[in-house]
Each structure stands twice: as C-alpha cells, then as structure tokens.
Amino acid sequence: MGDALTLASPNGPVPLIVAGITTDFASPRGTIEMSREVYERYWNDPKVTRFMVEMTPGSDLARSRTRIEDAVRTQPDSWRVISSGELVAYWGMQIRRAFASIYVLAAVILTVILFGIADNLSASVAERTRELGTLRAFGVRRARLRRIVIVEALAIAALGLCLAFAAGMAIAGLWARATIPYMLGWVIELNIPVGLLVVVSVITLLCCGLAAVVPALRAARLEPAAALRWE
C-alpha cells in the first residue's frame, strides 16, 4: 500500500497510488481496481462487463432480483442475473466434472489391488508351504490357518490405507494452499470428506479380504505330511 503504479493506456501513462490490497477471485493474474471515472477517461471505454450488487441485511432477495431482471430486460445486450451462491455452485459443479474420472480411476485401482493381493498371497502361500505344513503338524486347525492368511491381507490393506491417507493429505494440502491459489487466484479451504474416506477404506478392506479367500483356502487344504516334504 502506498506504492506508485504506472499503467499504460490509450491516452498515455496513468500513475496511480495503491490505496488497498484485497483478495481477488476474478483472475489468476490478479485484478487492478479503480474508479469507473478514471477507467472511462483514460481507456475510452464506457461499457460494463459486470455489475456487483450488494444487498442490505433484511432485503427481499427474490423481489430485488426480479426488479433487476426487469430493468436489464429492456437493454439491447443480453444480461444474466446470478447470485454469488449460484456462481460458486456453478464453479463447484465444473470442478466436480473435471475430477469425475477420479472415481473411474479408483475403481480400476481397486480391481488391480484385488488381483495383486490375490497373486501376492498365492505366491506367499506357495513359498511358505513347509512353514504352513509345520503349523498344521503342530495342531493348528484349518479355520485358524485361513484366518491367518486373511488377517495378513487385511494388515497389508491397512498399511496401504495409512500410506495413501498420508500421501493424499500432502497432495491435497499442496493443491489447496499452493497450486490452486497460484494458478487460479482462488482461496479455498481444505475439506476432508470423512464419510467418503470411510466408504473407500471399507471397500478396500473388503477387496483385500475377498482376494485372500482363494489363497486362504489353498493354505487350509495343505496336508501336513505333503507340506513338510515340499522343496
């Protein structure tokens, strides 16, 4: 504040003094605000792109909007009357549409996890045939052996979810506090969708538990004598 800013205009340089600084949402490069009279005088532009109307507390918004629409309906140019809430909802819808493919990607990733965990546990059961056979020889029941393999899969899933949560929070914080403000000029709050995280976590655990069923059944069917002779 107080610095001199010189702008180029059709009528020559325009020296201005910075009277205040405010957060801007209209342009990612920022916006210079000045009086209408100064802009019209130096830039020879009497037209208006948008009007901001601030309502006093207690005003009838519906009635005021109707009066504004009636007033601009007689103008030769087409005008749109929208509230700040409608504008925010519009941009929110556009952002959700831009990130809609994330859910498809998540489904693909869960499918890959399903087959990856199943393959990993199957290989683990094959590598530990003698170990599992020893457990059976010591009297470990088939049901408990199945539970061991399934718990192992759930432990892997829980570790993956913790790592994913930490990485997701770091990336979300970077987008909310640095990337979006610098690219678009928007100041947004980081909102954690707890319900969605719970649903995704449950689905992930179910996928990993489902993937462990076949390896668990294979481990439970091992015969101790044959398993101990496995090389």
- DSSP for the chain? ---EEEEEETTEEEEEE--------S-TT------HHHHHHHH-----S----PPPTT--HHHHHHHHHHHHTTSSS------HHHHHHHHHHHHHHHTTHHHHHHHHHHHHHHHHHHHHHHHHHHHTHHHHHHHHHTT--HHHHHHHHHHHHHHHHHHHHHHHHHHHHHHHHHIIIIIHHHHH---------HHHHHHHHHHHHHHHHHHTHHHHHHHHT--HHHHHT--
User: Does any domain span residue 117?
Assistant: yes
User: Does any domain span residue 53?
Assistant: yes
Q: Quick check: 229 pLDDT over 60?
A: no
Using CA atoms in the order 154, 156, 162, 167, what is the torsion angle rounded to 10 degrees?
-140
Q: What is the pLDDT of residue 60?
A: 85
- The tally of domains found in the chain comes to 2
My answer on whether 63 and 159 are in the same domain is no
User: Does any domain span residue 88?
Assistant: no
pLDDT band at 138; cut points 50, 70, 90: confident
User: Does any domain span residue 86?
Assistant: no
Q: Which of 19-33, 74-88, 150-164 has the highest mean pLDDT?
A: 150-164
Residue (of 111, 94, 88) closest to 189 by Cα position = 88
Q: What is the pLDDT of residue 76?
A: 66
Q: Quick check: 175 pLDDT over 60?
A: yes
pLDDT band at 185; cut points 50, 70, 90: low
Q: Quick check: 34 pLDDT over 60?
A: yes
Q: Quick check: 225 pLDDT over 70?
A: no
Q: Quick check: 217 pLDDT over 80?
A: no
Q: What is the pLDDT of residue 228?
A: 56
My answer on whether 9 and 63 are in the same domain is yes
Range of the domain at 126: 93-228
Q: What is the mean pLDDT of residues 166-191?
A: 81
My answer on whether 25 and 71 are in the same domain is yes
My answer on whether 97 and 77 are in the same domain is no
Q: What is the pLDDT of residue 218?
A: 74
My answer on whether 63 and 102 are in the same domain is no
Q: What is the mean pLDDT of residues 150-171?
A: 87
